[in-house]
Structure 1
Amino acid sequence: MGGGPVTLFLCGDVMLGRGVDQILPHPGDPALREDCIRDARAYVELAEAANGPIPPAVDFSWPWGDALEVLDAAAPAARVVNLETSVTRHETFAPGRHVHYRMNPANLPCLAASRPDVCVLANNHVLDFGHRGLAETLDALDGAGLRTAGAGRNADAAARPAIVPLESDRRILVLSFGMTSSGIPERWAATRHRGGVRLVSGATQAAAYETVGLVRQMKRPGDVVVASIHWGSNWGYTVHQDQIRFAHALIDGGVDVVHGHSSHHPRPLETYRGKLIIYGCGDFIDDYEGITGYEQYRDDLRPLYLVSLEPDTGRLADMRITPLQARRMRLRHASHEDARWLRTLLDGMGHGLRPSADSHPEGTFVLRPS
C-alpha cells in the first residue's frame, strides 16, 4: 500500500449561528429566547466591546481568518468539523432548550469557505429548531455538496459513516455519534421512522461494542476510521474513566482516531496502542467573545489540529497544532506568549506524546508518540 502519511484536519465545535450569522452577508432572524439575551446582535456587541469593531457584512471567509492559509498550506486529505448549529429559516424553537443556534442557509458559503470534507452533526444544537429545522439543515448541506455524518432522516441514515475516498481505493470513514453527557436530549435520538442524531447510551462497554461492530462491518484494508464523539461537560480538564475505557475499546476494535468534542477548551490527548485519542478539541468558531466567567481556561485560544497517520497502520506519525485566537469573531494567529501557554498546556496533558524540538512558523508545534 505504502505512500506518505494521511493527514487529517480536526477541530472542535464550529458554531456559525447566532452572533456569527449576524455578521455574515445574509443575517437571519436575530430573535432569541435566552434568559438574558433576546437578540443575537447582542453577541456581536459583546465581541466588539472586548476586541474592537467588526466590519459590517463581512465576507464569508471572515470567521475562518488565518485558519484558511494554514489549511491550504497543509493540504490535508480530509477536513472534519463538528458543525454545531441548525442551518434553517424555521422559526419554531425546540422546547426545553436554553440556547438555540440557527444559521441562515444563505450563509452556507461561510462553511464552504473552509472546504470541509465531512460535517459531523451528532451534537446538542443540530435540532435546536426541531425536526423541520433538521430536515432543512440536511437539505441545505446536501445541496451544497457537503458530506454529513451523525444525523439523518432515520436511525440508519444517522449511523451511516461519511466516506472520503483516497488514492488506491482507500477511504477515510467518519462515524459521528453523541452522548447525553454533552447535553443532547434523549428525545433527539433518530429512530426507525423519525429523523435525529445518532445517540449512544453513554460511554459504556455495550455502546463501544455496538460501534465496533459497525467498524468491523465497514472497514477494509487500508481504510482509516475516525470516531467523532460529542460527549462530556463544557468546562474542566478531567477525563472520566468511563470515557477512557470507551475510547480504548474503540481503538481495540479498529478505530484509528477518536475525535472528541463538546468542551469549550482543549482536554487531554493520548496515544493508545499507537492511535490518537483527543478527548476534547475545544471550540473553533463561535460567538463567545466578551462572555466572562471561565477566563482561566483561555477558551479564546483555538487549536487547529493536523493529524498525520502512518498509511499502512493508521498509527499516529505526528500531530501539528497551530494556536489560533478568536478576535472580532475571526481566527488570527495567537501571539508568541499565548501560543507558548497553549503548548505548555497540551504538552502537559499529552499522555504517550512528546513535544518535538522542530521549529515551525506562527507558533505551530508538533507532538509525536513517545
Structure 2
Amino acid sequence: MPELTFFLGGDVMTGRGVDAILPTPGPPELRERAIRDARDYVDLARSVNGPVPRPAPPAWPWGEALGLLDALRPDVRMVNLETAVTGRGAHAPAKAIHYRMHPGNLACLTAARLDVCALANNHVLDFGPVGLTDTLDALAGAGIATAGAGRDAASADAPARVPLGQGRDLLVWSVAAPSSGVLPSWAATPGAPGVAYCRRSRPPRRTRWPGGSPPWPGRRTGCWSPCTGATTGGTTCRPDTSTSPTG
C-alpha cells in the first residue's frame, strides 16, 4: 500500500476573538463568567501582542501554518473543528464556553484546503441543533467532508470518505465520549441531529482485528470502536468475533 501523509489538527477553534476579526463577524455575546463580549478577546490580544488587523484576511489566523502545510504537501488534511459554523441558535444551557463562527467567514477554513472536519466534540452543538445543521450545510457547501455528527444517528455514525485516486478511499470516523465533556443528550438519534456517541467502555473479549492490531482506544476514555480512526483501501474494519481474544 502506498504511503500516506496526514495533517491532523486539533482543536481548531475559530469562534470568539477569531470570528470577531474576520470580515463577517457573528453575534459577539458570550456567557462566560469574566468576558461577555467576544471583541474583548481581541482587545486582550492587542494589549499583549500588538496590533491585530480588523478585518483580518481569512487566512490570517493560520499564521505561518499554511506555508508549512504547502511545503509538506500532506495527502489528507483533517482537523477537529470545535466551533459551530452558524449565526443562529441559542447558547446551550449549563455551558460556560460557547464557540461559533459566522458562515460568512468560512473562507478561514477553506484557506487551509481541509479535506475532513471531525465534529464529534463538545462544541459542535453549542448553539443547538440549528447550529449543527448550519455547520453541516456550510462545510458541505465548501466541499469539506464531515465525520462524527449528522442530521440523524445513521449519518452521524457514517465515516467521511476522502478519494485518494486509483480506486482507493480513506474512511474517517469521529466519535464523542462522556469524558471529553460531551453530554449524552447530544447523541444523534434516528430522528434528530447530534453527534456519534461512544457508550462502550472496553473492547469485545473475542476479537481478531484486520492486520493483527486493534485501532487505538480513546486516549482519555478507554472507549473503543472497531472503526475509530482512518482506514485506507475503501474498506471498513469489521471484527471477526469467532476467534480467540487478542489480549
**Normalization by structure 2: what TM-score?**
0.84
Contact 1:87 1:103 in 2 (8 A): yes
SS, match of residue 136 in structure 2: helix
Separation in 1 of the partners of 2:201 and 2:127?
27
1:191-340 mapped onto 2 (5 Å cutoff): 191-201=189-199, 203-205=201-203, 232=220, 243=222
What residue number does 1:172 align with? 170
Moved over 4 A (4+): 226-229, 253-258
What residue number does 1:19 align with? 17
Matching residue's letter, 1:66: E
Separation in 2 of the partners of 1:254 and 1:201?
14
Contact 2:170 2:230 in 1 (8 A): no
Coordinate RMSD, CA, aligned: 3.0
What residue number does 1:72 align with? 70
What residue number does 1:270 align with? none
* Alpha-carbon spacing, 1:184–1:71, altered in 2? closer, same or farther (3 Å): same
Matching residue's letter, 1:163: R
* Alpha-carbon spacing, 1:196–1:254, altered in 2? closer, same or farther (3 Å): closer
Q: What are the Cα deviations for residues 185-229 of structure 1, in whole angstroms up to 9, with x where unaligned?
A: 1100001111100010254325x99xx99x98xxxx9xxxx9896
SS, match of residue 178 in structure 1: coil
* Alpha-carbon spacing, 1:41–1:131, altered in 2? closer, same or farther (3 Å): same
Per the TM alignment, residue 255 of structure 1 is displaced from its structure 2 partner at its CA by 6.2
Match of residue 187, structure 1, among 161, 167, 185: 185
- Structure with the bigger RCO (C-alpha within 8 Å, sep 6+) is 1
Per the TM alignment, residue 147 of structure 1 is displaced from its structure 2 partner at its CA by 0.5
What residue number does 1:128 align with? 126
**Which segments of 5 or more consecutive residues in structure 2 lack a partner in the other structure?**
234-247
Separation in 2 of the partners of 1:202 and 1:52?
48
What residue number does 1:108 align with? 106
Matching residue's letter, 1:145: G
Separation in 2 of the partners of 1:183 and 1:46?
27
SS, match of residue 59 in structure 1: coil
* Alpha-carbon spacing, 1:204–1:89, altered in 2? closer, same or farther (3 Å): same
Per the TM alignment, residue 156 of structure 1 is displaced from its structure 2 partner at its CA by 0.5
Per the TM alignment, residue 50 of structure 1 is displaced from its structure 2 partner at its CA by 2.1
Separation in 2 of the partners of 1:80 and 1:92?
28
Identity value in percent: 50
Contact 1:179 1:202 in 2 (8 A): no
Greater share of residues in strand: 1
* Alpha-carbon spacing, 1:189–1:165, altered in 2? closer, same or farther (3 Å): same
Contact 1:152 1:196 in 2 (8 A): yes
What residue number does 1:55 align with? 53
* Alpha-carbon spacing, 1:59–1:12, altered in 2? closer, same or farther (3 Å): same
- The yes-or-no answer on 1:119 pairing with 2:117 is yes
What residue number does 1:355 align with? none
Contact 1:176 1:228 in 2 (8 A): no
Greater share of residues in helix: 1
Separation in 1 of the partners of 2:179 and 2:61?
28
Matching residue's letter, 2:77: R
